[in-house]
């Protein structure tokens, strides 16, 4: 997290708690021991003017984020960012509690701080199957500002930098490649890899008992056609998605499904699989999951101008 936003987040949280106006941010940052210490630690002599300009920009963005949040987000997520807004009582799944600084969907390993682009993507696209809508109606400036404002609810967590992007190897089935292997091969091998690597321990199995035994080398768990309930860090018990029935919340394309498999899901039972399953099998499983979701209509179609939903980006 950029240092200017760390300062804005910490001071902003204090201002909100005291009921002060966010416009006081500049005075709090520019004057007093805290600001002097920041300048002394981080800025070379003669650069204080540049620091003041940077902090002024941060304060303006923070204030825009606050106003955007109060207008569009507080009804579900609450004034304190704890997910207890007036509408939360009627929603399932519940709105995200920002006070822990934990977010589910990101392109970094589960448990690490997400990148700004990860949060921006969620704000922009929304989460399918939940009450979180797309906020494309907002300008990009407003969306980026509210992303920064969200961090003020967990300033200690956001004092740490975001995690590194999870690695992505080239997709051997990418139709744009001259040497691309058939997608049908990816789906078939993915069906085997899915059951061989234990995805069925939480998600449903999608093969019969005899085939399951042949692939996994063991009998299936009880009621293998059903999802398993798992508890997340917010204390909610949720079923792992059934890819033929449940909407994919944030991973709509093969690339995004691959990233989710690799990164895992923050705060949930889904761990990172970067070291547990080799990259080629992760691609195969991603194609298999996409084929299940596509068959049942639980993923959105390609954006305008895109022809292949497997390659289509969801936009940001």
Q: Are 36 and 137 in a shared domain?
A: yes
Q: Bigger pLDDT: 17 or 276?
A: 276
- Percent share of the chain, pLDDT over 90: 72
Owning domain of residue 286: 183-296
Q: Are 67 and 115 in a shared domain?
A: yes
In a domain, 305, yes or no: no
Q: Are 134 and 204 in a shared domain?
A: no
Dig out the tokens for 248 from the structure. Answer: 């994919």
In a domain, 110, yes or no: yes
Phi and psi angles of residue 229, each rounded to the nearest 5 degrees, phi first: -80, 130
Residues 6+ apart with CB under 8 A from 177: 170, 171
pLDDT-based confidence at 52, cuts 50/70/90? Answer: low
Last residue of a domain, one of 159, 194, 212: 159
Last residue of a domain, one of 159, 191, 215: 159
In a domain, 166, yes or no: no
Residues 6+ apart with CB under 8 A from 42: 3, 51
Residue 122 is predicted with a pLDDT of 97
Dig out the tokens for 247 from the structure. Answer: 């909407």
Q: Are 139 and 12 in a shared domain?
A: yes
Number of domains in the chain: 2
In a domain, 133, yes or no: yes
d(CA 306, CA 234): 37
Q: Are 131 and 270 in a shared domain?
A: no
Q: What mean pLDDT is reported for the chain?
A: 83
In a domain, 48, yes or no: yes
For every residue of the chain, DSSP letters joined together read: --HHHHHHHHHHHHHHHHT--GGGHHHHHHSHHHHHHHHHHHS-TT-HHHHHHHHHHHHHHHHHHHHHHHHHTHHHH-TTSSS--TTGGG-SSPPP-GGG---S--SB-TTSPPPHHHHHHHHHH--TTSS----TTS-HHHHHHHHHHHGGGSTTGGGSPPPPBPP----TT-TTSTTPPPHHHHHHHHHHHHHHTTGGGTSPP-S-HHHHHHHHSSPPPSSTTSPPEEE-TTS-EEEPP-TTTSPPSS--SHHHHHHHHHH--TTSS----TTTS-HHHHHHHHHHHHHHHHHHT-SPPPPTT---TTT-----
Q: Are 52 and 117 in a shared domain?
A: yes
Q: CB count, 10 Å around CB of 86?
A: 11
pLDDT, mean of residues 62-87: 97
Q: Are 142 and 34 in a shared domain?
A: yes
In a domain, 89, yes or no: yes
Q: Are 28 and 82 in a shared domain?
A: yes
Residue 141 is predicted with a pLDDT of 97
Q: Are 148 and 236 in a shared domain?
A: no
Query: pTM for the whole thing?
Result: 0.78
Q: Are 7 and 64 in a shared domain?
A: yes
Q: Which residue has the tokens 């696209």?
A: 125
Q: Are 74 and 151 in a shared domain?
A: yes
Q: Residue 34 belongs to a domain with what CATH number?
A: 1.10.760
Q: Which residue has the tokens 């895109």?
A: 306
In terms of residues, how long is the chain? 316
pLDDT, mean of residues 248-275: 95
Q: Are 141 and 74 in a shared domain?
A: yes
Q: Residue 268 belongs to a domain with what CATH number?
A: 1.10.760.10
In a domain, 168, yes or no: no
pLDDT-based confidence at 17, cuts 50/70/90? Answer: very low
**Res. 275: pLDDT tops 60:** yes
Radius of gyration of the chain (CA): 22
Pair 162, 254: CB distance under 8 Å: no
**Res. 47: pLDDT tops 60:** no
**Res. 27: pLDDT tops 50:** no
Pair 173, 287: CB distance under 8 Å: yes
pLDDT-based confidence at 50, cuts 50/70/90? Answer: low
Last residue of a domain, one of 159, 194, 229: 159
Residue 299 is predicted with a pLDDT of 63
In a domain, 174, yes or no: no
pLDDT-based confidence at 295, cuts 50/70/90? Answer: confident
């Amino acid at each position: 997290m950029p240092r200017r936003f760390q300062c804005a987040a910490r001071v902003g949280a204090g201002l909100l708690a005291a009921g002060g106006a966010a416009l006081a941010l500049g005075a709090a940052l520019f004057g007093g021991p805290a600001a002097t210490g920041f300048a002394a630690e981080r800025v070379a002599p003669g650069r204080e003017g540049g620091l003041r300009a940077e902090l002024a920009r941060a304060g303006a963005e923070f204030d825009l984020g606050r106003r955007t949040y109060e207008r569009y987000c507080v009804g579900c997520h609450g004034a304190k960012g704890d997910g207890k807004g007036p509408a939360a009582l009627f929603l399932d799944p519940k709105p995200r509690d920002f006070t822990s600084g934990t977010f589910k969907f990101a392109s970094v390993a589960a448990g690490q701080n997400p990148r700004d682009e990860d949060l921006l993507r969620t704000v922009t696209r929304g989460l399918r199957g939940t009450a979180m809508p797309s906020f494309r109606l907002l300008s990009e400036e407003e969306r980026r500002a509210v992303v920064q404002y969200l961090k003020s609810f967990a300033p200690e967590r956001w004092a740490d930098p975001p995690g590194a992007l999870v690695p992505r190897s080239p997709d051997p089935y990418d139709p744009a490649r001259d040497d691309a292997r058939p997608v049908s091969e990816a789906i078939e091998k993915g069906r085997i890899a899915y059951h061989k690597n234990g995805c069925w321990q939480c998600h449903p199995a999608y093969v019969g008992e005899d085939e399951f035994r042949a692939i996994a080398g063991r009998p299936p768990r009880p009621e293998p056609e059903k999802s398993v309930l798992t508890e997340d860090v917010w204390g909610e018990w949720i079923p792992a998605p059934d890819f033929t029935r449940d909407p994919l919340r944030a991973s709509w394309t093969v690339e995004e499904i691959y990233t989710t498999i690799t990164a895992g899901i923050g705060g949930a039972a889904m761990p990172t699989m970067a070291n547990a399953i080799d990259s080629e099998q992760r691609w195969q499983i991603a194609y298999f999951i996409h084929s299940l979701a596509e068959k049942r209509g639980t993923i959105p179609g390609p954006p305008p101008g895109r022809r292949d939903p497997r390659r289509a980006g969801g936009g940001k």
